[in-house]
Homo-oligomer: A and B are copies of this chain.
Amino acid sequence: MKQSATEWGEKALLEALIEVMAREPKGLVIGPGDDAAVVATTPTTVVTVDSIVAGQDWLVEQSPPAAVGHRAAAVNLSDIAAMGGQPKWALLALELNEHDDVEDVLQAAAEMAHQLALHGATVVGGDLGIGQGPQRWTLTLMATPGPRTLTMSQAKAGYRVWLIGEVGRAAVGLNALIAGDSSTEMAPLIESHLRPRALVDAGMRLADLPYDIAATDVSDGLWIDAVRLAEKSDVGLELHLPRPDWLSPSIVEQVRRYGLDWRELMVTGGDDYALLVCAPWSLDLRQELSSVVPLSIEAIGQVVQGDLVSIHVEGERLTGVARGYEHGR
């Protein structure tokens, strides 16, 4: 029988949450349950916070609870990946709707903790609220920096641009999920949407290299994230995306039936958490990273002087404004 968050109450639910997420890693001085946690840290710490909200960042009816927890971890892990950090400590501020099913919430929390643990991070504290609004997972993630830190502002004219991982898969998968299309062909793309993969190992490897490397994770859409990186580095970018391997003619056709264009989804869909990387031309990232990243690694363009981001897909130049997901617009 389903039991709501209100039926359990804050105290019982908090204890159950701490239990499903419990771990006792090295370096944890004081864990959950006191006024604050105390953790071991290095001379500098990389920190980020991100929220995901029911109905806004995931489809409530179509997403299994574990996918929600997976996503809560991935959005933050991906930010750390884009800085080249080693994830260490996490704090969860969880807001539940009073009608939320407790079993689902605990499953999601367990999966979130599991995904964090896979990348070396542990939940050490948090805050729980039960109210009338939509379910929201706000995760703060602290990380140990690598020998160098990847930032958005280190791209230089003459650098080569790389895309690690793929773009567009999650957006196509999301639209398939909305359309209720769970065909064999769409299933792996739906999986890309439900369980995005943060490229933490790739980021750490890049931060180990003795070069100034610029990077960002493609969270809001390749185009808008490329514009942000270009602005921060005060450069232009010329990007040429090939037609992706996973895009069969029947997927193209299916996407068209959804009323969408696959090229547009590739440059505006953000939830794949690929890494957009600008590195010295001489550096062959495919060679450097292929042992840690079992994913597509493609040279997709170059950094140029100026402030223009031009983007071509399969040879065709896309025009219009940089679009991507922007809250409140």
CB-based contact B36/A82 at 8 Å: yes
19 examples of A-B residue contacts, CB within 8 angstroms:
A29-B149, A34-B151, A34-B153, A36-B46, A36-B48, A36-B80, A36-B141, A38-B44, A38-B45, A38-B47, A38-B145, A39-B47, A40-B43, A51-B95, A51-B129, A53-B95, A91-B140, A93-B93, A138-B138
Residue-by-residue, is A44-59 near B (CB-CB < 8 Å gives 1, otherwise 0)? 1111111101001000
Contact with B along A139-154 (1 / 0, CB 8 A): 0111101000101110
Interface residues of A in 84-104 (CB under 8 A from B): 85, 89, 91-93, 95-96, 98
Q: Are A95 and B136 in contact (CB under 8 A)?
A: yes
Q: Which 6 A-B pairs have the closest CB atoms?
A: A130-B328, A133-B133, A36-B48, A35-B82, A41-B41, A140-B140
A115 interface residue (CB < 8 Å to B): no
Interface status of A33 (Cβ within 8 A of chain B): yes
> A232 interface residue, CB < 8 Å from B?
yes
Most chain B CB inside 10 Å of its own CB: which residue of A129, A141, A149: A129
Of A3-11, A258-266, A286-294, A309-317, the one touching chain B: A3-11
Tell me whether A255 is interfacial, beta carbon within 8 Å: no
| A302 beta carbon closer than 8 Å to chain B | no
A129 contact set on B, CB distance < 8 A? 51, 53, 56, 327-328
Q: Does A282 contact B (CB under 8 A)?
A: no
A131 located at the interface, meaning its Cβ lies under 8 Å from any Cβ of chain B in the complex: yes
Do A91 and B35 touch across chains, with their CB atoms under 8 A apart? no
B residues less than 8 Å from A151 (CB atoms): 30, 34
Assess whether A245 is interfacial by the CB under 8 Å rule: no
Q: Is the interface of A mostly helix, strand, loop or mixed?
A: strand
| Residue in B5, B41, B48, B82 whose beta carbon sits within 8 Å of that of A125 in the complex | B48
How many angstroms between the C-alpha atoms of A98 and B143 in the bound complex? 33
A128 interface contact, C-beta 8 A: yes
- Checking B37, B98, B217 against A35 with a beta-carbon cut-off of 8 angstroms, the contacting residue is B217
A190 CB–B CB distance under 8 Å: no
A47–B124 touching, CB < 8 Å: yes
Q: Check if B47 sits within 8 Å of A89, measured CB to CB.
A: yes
Given A91-B48, A125-B47, A138-B93, A131 and B37 contact (CB-CB distance below 8 Å): no
Interface status of A326 (Cβ within 8 A of chain B)? yes
A216 at the interface (CB under 8 A from B): yes
* Minimum CB–CB distance for A294 against chain B, Å: 23
Return chain B residues, CB-CB under 8 Å to A329: 9-10
- Give Cα A299 to B151, complex, Å: 52
Q: Which of A159-217 contact B (CB under 8 A)?
A: 215-217
Whether the Cβ atoms of A93 and B44 lie closer than 8 Å is: no
Residues of B contacting A153 with CB < 8 Å?
A: 34
Counting CB contacts under 8 A, is A250 at the interface?
Answer: no
* Cα distance, A29 to B9, chains bound together (Å): 42
A206 → chain B closest CB, angstroms: 13
